[in-house]
Amino acid sequence: MPTQSEPIWERVDSLVDRQINVEQFHIWPFAHPYPIDVRFLLMDRRHEVPKHRPDHLEVVVLEFGELGYEVEDRRCLVQKNDVIVVGDRIRHRSLPLGASQQAARAVVLCFLPQLVHSGPLGDDMQYLMPFMLQDASCANVIPAKAGRWREISDFIQRIRAELPGTSQRSRLAIKTYLKMILLNLVNHYAAFGEARDALRRQQISADRLKPALDFLQKHYPEPIRVDEAARLCAMSACCFMHLFKEVTGQSFVAYLNGFRVAQAQQLLAVTDRSIADISLDTGFCNQSYFGVIFRRVTGMSPLAYRLNHGSIQTAVSPPSTVKMPPTQ
């Protein structure tokens, strides 16, 4: 395993707050083509921010202190070694510190779902179920007494040691460690009857979408309309779109574009074919539109992805960083 450097603790108001846009979406700026990141946050927030939805998934381990936390219309206190599971369907925020309250510290793992699930629905979707089961009071906070934080923290550190994932081996290791974290979360939620029922319902819904997703896998380079996909599932377009969003967290068009981009990433990484050819072969009508969608999904242009894939440099941390001693 690569040698790890000491963590750099970044102030939450300087890093996270500036990533929240006017629509109250939290846009995470992944610094490299492999869409996963580990950051160390000093939770010294002194002012309120609006409740916001992330465009990614997060697993947060509170390493030190305690923190007021709000998710949708519920509030709770998060304490040392609690784990927060943040899906892209909920609005949440940490609350400002009290006048005499010491800033908490949190280790944050951010990733995009396509890192685990980049194709038609299958067993890999089960790994993402914990991010879809957050409707009970603060159910996305796993208390320290559950003991989940130890293994999760260990695998987060292993992921950090492999970043930025410049080799096939390191990317395989990152994905494996991430799946171990997610399996830990699945096991936690599966212990609760309501969660088991929700998982079962989710799987039934996923099975209903299978004909359309099998078709997508084989015909993604071709034009695919929503009404065609709905017809394969014997559903109206309206019902299909609602169910698709419920199961995957994305619209059908966004999912299709994400799948096409995933195929394009492979071609950009392992072939020297032109970007124009790759855009057409993965289902995009022209190179310009391909570039727009590729940047939206990955955070960089196709050319930048190709140039950086084999020689990725670790991003320079912003100036608002604080080195902290390890917690005793």
Question: Residue 50 is part of a domain; what is its CATH number?
Answer: 2.60.120.280
* Segment holding 16, helix H or strand E: none
The whole-angstrom separation of Cα 314 and Cα 325 is 22
Is residue 126 pLDDT above 90, yes or no? Answer: no
Q: What is the mean pLDDT of residues 240-267?
A: 87
pTM for the full predicted model? 0.69
Given pLDDT bands bounded at 50, 70 and 90, which one contains residue 297? Answer: confident
The pLDDT tens digits of the residues spanning 99-125 come to: 777 889 999 999 988 788 655 555 667
Q: Dihedral of CA 90/84/161/11: which sign? A: positive
Question: What is the model's pLDDT at position 196?
Answer: 67
Residue 116 confidence (pLDDT): 82
Q: Is it the case that residue 319 has pLDDT exceeding 50?
A: no
Q: At residue 314, does pLDDT exceed 60? A: no
Tell me: do 20 and 114 sit in the same domain: yes
**In this structure, what token pair is assigned to residue 64?**
């030190």
User: And the tokens for 270?
Assistant: 């392992």
At 15, is the pLDDT very low, low, confident or very high (cuts 50, 70, 90)? confident
- As a whole number, mean pLDDT of residues 156-170 equals 90
**Does 150 lie in the same domain as 171?**
yes
Question: Encoding tokens for residue 96?
Answer: 């400002």
Please name the residue ranges forming H helices in the chain.
Answer: 12-15, 148-162, 168-190, 193-219, 226-232, 237-248, 252-270, 275-281, 287-298, 302-309
Tokens of 18: 């500036």
Structure confidence by residue, pLDDT tens digits, 62-90: 999 999 999 988 899 999 999 999 988 78
Could you tell me the residue range of the domain that residue 277 belongs to?
A: 197-309
Q: Are residues 145 and 185 in the same domain?
A: yes
**Does one domain contain both 168 and 205?**
no
For 128-154, the DSSP string reads GGGGG---STTTTEE-GGG-HHHHHHH
Is 314 inside any structural domain? no
